[in-house]
């Protein structure tokens, strides 16, 4: 797989709610803080979007899409001076996978998805994203239009396999929105996500993801990027925020943490599969990155309730 697919698979992005709402007249909804990422595509109409911590509301219009990856409370409204209705009250009568009416509908229509990152260390992805990812360029909206149109068809006329189709469409919209945001560059600072939009940095990252056990050196990674060692080291640090070797170690530890959580593989087998000659060296690296030993991490994970099951119960 490519590095973005690797990361999303490792974080196990799941869509546990999708649907939409059709508002009419004057309206205002307040949404409490949330886990994961919320995604909205505006089908028709326009509204204001205000996110806690942001100084100004954003105007969203027909065709726009936006991601809310930081989990902050937010408001959507036709008029920001209106007293908002608690979205929980509205959604308590809503049906998952359906278009729900507010004030009879007629003026504003959107579809939405809520993605939960079931894997640990979601900050690898979310930490480099702003509180609002607003996709509003006409060329960018055109790239999302097919998915949006297909989702609307599924929401309006449920057919066999409806839930699965909607979930796959929601995932496609999320990935496409991330791609479009990546292409705009690291406006909020360096990070893994934006490095993938750079041909040279992404070539080195792909090598590390494809073969994490290999004894990579800065020189061999620089050669994969067709750069000199010095230029590559400087560019990688500027784009990703860490050195190539630090990134490689961090990626290995994320893979190790995932296997400790989801498999019965021994620590010695995991360490060997990731290129470590001794379990001791692996454990030292793991503790430096993850803050605890592999055994402690595995024990804590076994004691924790399954977050995905918890969230599924809340959404049902």
| Cβ-count burial 8-18 (b if 16+ within 10 Å, e if not) | bebbbbbbbbb
Task: Reply yes or no on whether the pLDDT at 187 is more than 70.
Answer: no
Asked whether residue 3 is domain-assigned, the answer is no
Residue 6 lies in a domain: no
Residues 23 and 171 in one domain: yes
Of the candidates 176, 124, 173, 171, the residue with the CA atom closest to the CA atom of residue 13: 171
Do 173 and 139 have their domain in common? yes
Q: What are phi and psi of 41, to 5 degrees?
A: -120, 125
In a domain, 105, yes or no: yes
- For residue 269, is it within any domain? yes
- Do 105 and 29 belong to one domain? yes
Query: Residue 241 is part of which domain span?
Result: 198-303
- pLDDT of 43 higher than 60: yes
Compute the average pLDDT of residues 301-314: 46
- Which of 159, 183, 207 is the C-terminal boundary of a domain? 183
Output the domain CATH number for residue 177.
Answer: 2.60.120.280
Q: What does the pLDDT look like over 233-250, one tens digit per residue?
A: 999 999 888 999 999 999
The pLDDT value given to residue 10: 82
Detail the DSSP E strand segments found in the chain: 13-23, 28-31, 37-44, 46-51, 58-61, 65-68, 74-77, 85-86, 99-102, 108-117, 133-135
In a domain, 4, yes or no: no
Q: Residue 126 falls within a domain, yes or no?
A: yes
Classify burial at 100, counting beta carbons within 10 Å of its beta carbon; exposed 0-12, middle 13-18, buried 19 or more: middle
For residues 306 and 314, the answer to whether their CB atoms sit within 8 Å is no
248 falls within a domain? yes
Question: How many domains, the chain?
Answer: 2
Which of 137, 152, 183 corresponds to the end of one domain?
183
pLDDT digits (tens, 9 = 90+) for 67-124: 999 889 999 999 999 999 998 877 665 554 578 888 888 899 998 888 888 666 777 7
Q: What pLDDT shows up at residue 164?
A: 87
- Using DSSP, state whether 20 is helix, strand or coil: strand
User: What three-state secondary structure class fits 212?
Assistant: coil
43 and 162 share one domain = yes
Burial zone of 76 (CB within 10 Å; 0-12 exposed, 13-18 middle, 19+ buried) = buried
CB-CB contact of 64 with 48 (8 Å): no
Query: Tell me, what's the pLDDT at 296?
Result: 92
Residues 224 and 77 in one domain: no
Least confident of 3-7, 18-22, 127-131, 291-295: 127-131
Q: Is 9 domain-assigned?
A: no
CA-CA distance, 286 to 268, in Å (whole number)?
13
**C-alpha of 295 from chain center:** 28
- 35-49, 161-175, 254-268: the lowest-pLDDT one: 161-175
CATH number at residue 257: 1.10.10.60
Q: Are residues 170 and 205 in the same domain?
A: no
- Alpha-carbon gap, residue 270 to 168, rounded angstroms: 32
Same domain, 220 and 99: no
């Amino acid at each position: 797989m490519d590095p973005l697919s690797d990361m999303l698979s490792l974080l196990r992005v799941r869509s546990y709610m999708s649907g939409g709402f059709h508002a009419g007249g004057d309206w205002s909804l307040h949404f409490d803080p949330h886990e994961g990422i919320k995604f909205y595509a505006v089908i028709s109409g326009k509204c204001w979007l205000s996110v806690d911590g942001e100084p100004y509301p954003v105007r969203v219009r027909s065709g726009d899409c936006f991601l809310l990856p930081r989990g902050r409370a937010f408001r959507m409204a036709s008029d920001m001076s209106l007293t908002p209705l608690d979205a929980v009250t509205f959604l308590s009568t809503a049906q998952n996978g359906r278009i729900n009416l507010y004030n009879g509908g007629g003026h504003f229509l959107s579809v939405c998805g809520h993605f939960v990152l079931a894997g640990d260390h979601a900050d690898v992805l979310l930490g480099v994203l702003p509180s609002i990812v607003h996709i509003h360029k006409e060329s960018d909206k055109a790239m999302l239009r097919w998915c949006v149109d297909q989702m609307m068809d599924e929401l309006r006329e449920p057919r066999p396999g409806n839930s699965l189709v909607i979930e796959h469409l929601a995932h496609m919209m999320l990935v496409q929105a991330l791609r479009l945001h990546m292409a705009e560059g690291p406006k909020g600072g360096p990070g893994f996500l934006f490095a993938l939009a750079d041909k040279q940095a992404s070539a080195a990252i792909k090598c590390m993801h494809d073969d994490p056990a290999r004894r990579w050196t800065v020189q061999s990674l620089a050669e994969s990027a067709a750069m000199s060692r010095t230029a590559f080291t400087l560019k990688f640090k500027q784009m990703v925020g860490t050195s190539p070797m630090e990134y490689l170690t961090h990626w290995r530890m994320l893979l190790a943490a995932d296997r400790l959580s989801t498999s019965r593989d021994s620590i010695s087998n995991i360490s060997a599969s990731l290129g470590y000659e001794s379990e001791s060296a692996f454990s030292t690296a793991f503790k430096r990155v993850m803050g605890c030993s592999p055994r402690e991490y595995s024990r804590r994970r076994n004691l924790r309730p399954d977050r995905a099951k918890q969230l599924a119960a809340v959404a049902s």
